[in-house]
Amino acid sequence: MSNRFVKRASEKSGLPPGTIVHVGDKRTEAVKITVIDYDKDHCQMKEITDVEELLSFRDNPTVTWINIDGVHDVTIIERLGRSFSIHPLVLEDILHTTQRPKIEDFEGYIYIVLQMFYLSDRKGEHDAGPEVISEQVSLILGPNFVISLQEAGGDTFDPIRMRLKASKGRIREMGADYLAYALIDSIVDNYFVILEKLGELIEMLEDELLADPGPDTLEKLHVLRNEMIFLRKSAWPLREVLNRLLREESGLISRTTQIYIKDIYDHIIQVIDTIETYRDMLSGMLDIYLSSISNRMNEVMKVLTIIATIFIPLTFLAGVYGMNFRYMPELSWKWGYPFLWLIMITIGITMFFYFRKKKWL
């Protein structure tokens, strides 16, 4: 079973709740912290190295987006928690990078966990198709700030950065809740990109299945089926996260932003429907593959059975005249050997055409 489905968290075994321990892929790269501070009239972007510098943005009237690439440095996460009064259980969840999507409402901020996906080539498995890689994204929505924490650099947020820089759309006119909506929307929209590429692979696999299925076809079916299960594990909980954002009355989310969140909710429903459709298609393709292999085996067994049936009387005749009795009829007859061959060939041909007439061959 893939380690994506069974996660180990032995590092936390026996530790009390709220213990700050990183659980996930071990990384050595430096943590990158970028800040985008903006309002309707200006936008400031910069990279910082000291978490304490973030304090100057905490109480600003402007909207501040703090993005942290890398959560493996426990010290930085602890200092971030002290600077923004984040609960230790939230810091624990941020560092525990195997969380399922969820939402928690605290006094003064909302904590949201999401899964971001992208495709990566499989090492040494060129014919199995790309692999879906997940990365945990934690969002902390405050009155005038949004903190996004990712496991590594690289994300789907570049269009949002470009919109902020170019002052396009309404994002510069709205508050921090709209920024959080935009980040979630960017992640969900990327689900469609992933599913579109996987859908193309399923179509190609379907053509291969109908043309000439082989052992590689079964492997590809198994791989794609696992990818659908993997995506489903994140899509279904995200539906509940968005539903809570719509139902709960929080002072951090305006009625205007909730309308946009409803649009994301509709999108995640489409994602779930697409995943379920692909899963059903792959299950049906697996049944077709097994039926095809079974039919092919039946055809082979039918041909072998007919050949064996034809040779049964021939083997009988050969066995009779292969007995080493001294006194047997036709042993001393001049035409005995060719006559026996004539009988055997006649029987074989007669049976062959009889089977052809019955459409058994």
25-51: pLDDT as tens digits = 777 788 899 999 998 888 999 998 888
* Domain residue limits at 313: 298-357
CATH number at residue 313: 1.20.58.340
Same domain, 145 and 171: yes
User: Which pairing describes strands 63-69 and 102-106: parallel, antiparallel, or unpaired?
Assistant: unpaired
Residues 333, 227: one domain? no
- For residues 240-264, average pLDDT: 89
On the question of pLDDT at 146 being above 90, the answer is: yes
The answer to whether position 2 is within a domain reads no
Residue 296 banded pLDDT, cuts 50, 70, 90: confident
The whole model's pTM is what? 0.80
Asked if residue 1 has pLDDT above 50, the reply is: no
What tokens appear for 25 in the block? 């892929």
* Average pLDDT of the chain, as a whole number: 85
Q: Is there a domain that residue 5 lies in?
A: no
Least confident of 11-15, 31-35, 318-322: 11-15
Least confident range from 40-54, 83-97, 205-219: namely: 205-219
Number of Cβ within 10 Å of residue 104's Cβ equals 14
| Span 110-139, average pLDDT | 81
Q: Give me the pLDDT at residue 122, please.
A: 66
Q: What is the pLDDT of residue 15?
A: 63
Under 8 Å CB-to-CB from 352, ≥6 apart: which residues?
Answer: 310, 361
Q: What sections of the chain are H helices per DSSP?
A: 55-58, 74-84, 88-95, 158-166, 176-211, 215-247, 255-320, 336-357
Task: Domain count for the chain, please give it.
Answer: 2
- Cα gap 259→275, rounded to integer Å: 25
Q: Provide the pLDDT for residue 9.
A: 54
Do 16 and 92 sit in the same domain of this protein? yes
Tell which wins on pLDDT, 358 or 280.
280
Do residues 87 and 172 share a domain? Answer: yes
Same domain, 217 and 243: yes
Which region among 2-16, 322-336, 341-355 has the lowest average model confidence (pLDDT)?
2-16
In a domain, 1, yes or no: no
pLDDT of residue 56: 82
Tell me the average pLDDT across 212-237: 87
Percent pLDDT > 90 in the chain is: 33
Q: Which two tokens stand for residue 146?
A: 């949004």
User: Do 248 and 306 fall into the same domain?
Assistant: no
End-to-end Cα distance, the chain: 44
| 65 part of a folded domain | yes
Stronger pLDDT, 125 or 278, i.e. the higher one: 278
Q: What is the pLDDT of residue 302?
A: 84
What confidence tens digit (pLDDT) does each residue in 61-71 have? 899 999 999 88
| 236 and 308 assigned to the same domain | no
